[in-house]
């Protein structure tokens, strides 16, 4: 009887060893994203600037956000919303009234971008220079799992200043938002490249 039981156990062990199943955990997957076709339209308003923006974005006046700077006029905040990506490009416009105000606005932009250093792996600064439109500024590309991966400001250095910061309403994980981020960055580049001051 004992030999019979040992044979049964041996056969079960052989049967179990014969299956070559891989039970290693699978990597986490992400939803497939359908990107809309690129198309742009002109943003025209009472503000002293125009630019091109994507047809799948919605621009609205922002009456709720509060940005911690002592100079900012709260009536000059705009949001470029990307509903299908749950993201927003927050924009703030300011009239430059003195060199001191201009210097403080530039310093604010730098400070806001470098607030992301806790989560950022790197921060690159690129110069924006479109002399024919009198558009100058700095473009910040923020790597890693930062809350905002793109920030910039544009100015004519005399009267007008506009700052932008892109945020997604999700936990910042670069591996999951990278395709969307690359897609929206193209739209921001088109916006900056087409940016013009009216005065």
The enclosing domain of 69 has a CATH number of 3.40.1000
Q: How many domains does the chain have?
A: 1
* pLDDT at site 23: 56
* pLDDT at site 115: 77
162/92 Cα distance (integer angstroms):
6
Assess if residue 129 is contained within a domain: yes
* pLDDT at site 112: 85
- Dihedral, 106, 111, 112, 115 alpha carbons, nearest 10: 160
Domain range for 116 is 40-197
Assess if residue 31 is contained within a domain: no
* pLDDT at site 199: 74
Task: For residue 170, give both structure tokens.
Answer: 């999700």
Asked if 146 and 116 count as a contact pair (C-beta separation under 8 A), the reply is yes
Assess if residue 137 is contained within a domain: yes
Assess if residue 130 is contained within a domain: yes
**pLDDT < 70 stretches in the chain:** 1, 4-7, 9-32, 64-76, 116-120, 172-175
Predicted confidence (pLDDT) per residue in 15-48, tens digit? 666 555 555 665 555 556 788 999 999 998 989 9
Assess if residue 163 is contained within a domain: yes
Assess if residue 28 is contained within a domain: no
**DSSP string of 46-104, one letter each residue:** SSSEEEEEETT-EEEE-SS-----TT--GGGEEEEEEGGGTEEEEEEEEE--SHHHHHH
Assess if residue 16 is contained within a domain: no
Assess if residue 158 is contained within a domain: yes
Asked if 102 and 96 count as a contact pair (C-beta separation under 8 A), the reply is yes
């Amino acid at each position: 009887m004992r030999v019979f039981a040992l044979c049964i156990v041996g056969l079960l062990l052989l049967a179990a060893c014969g299956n070559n199943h891989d039970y290693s955990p699978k990597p986490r997957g992400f939803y497939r994203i359908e990107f809309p076709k690129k198309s742009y339209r002109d943003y025209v308003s009472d503000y002293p600037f125009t630019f091109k923006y994507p047809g799948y974005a919605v621009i609205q006046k922002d009456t709720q956000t509060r940005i911690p700077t002592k100079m900012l006029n709260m009536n000059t905040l705009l949001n470029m919303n990307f509903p299908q990506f749950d993201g927003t490009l927050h924009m703030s416009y300011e009239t430059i009234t003195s060199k001191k105000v201009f210097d403080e606005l530039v310093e604010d932009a730098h400070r806001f971008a470098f607030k992301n250093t806790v989560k950022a792996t790197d921060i690159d600064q690129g110069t924006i220079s479109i002399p024919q439109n009198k558009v100058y500024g700095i473009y910040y590309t923020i790597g890693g799992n930062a809350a905002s991966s793109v920030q910039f400001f544009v100015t004519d250095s005399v009267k007008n200043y506009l700052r932008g910061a892109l945020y997604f309403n999700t936990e910042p994980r670069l591996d999951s938002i990278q395709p969307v981020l690359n897609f929206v960055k193209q739209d921001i580049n088109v916006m900056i490249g087409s940016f013009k001051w009216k005065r």
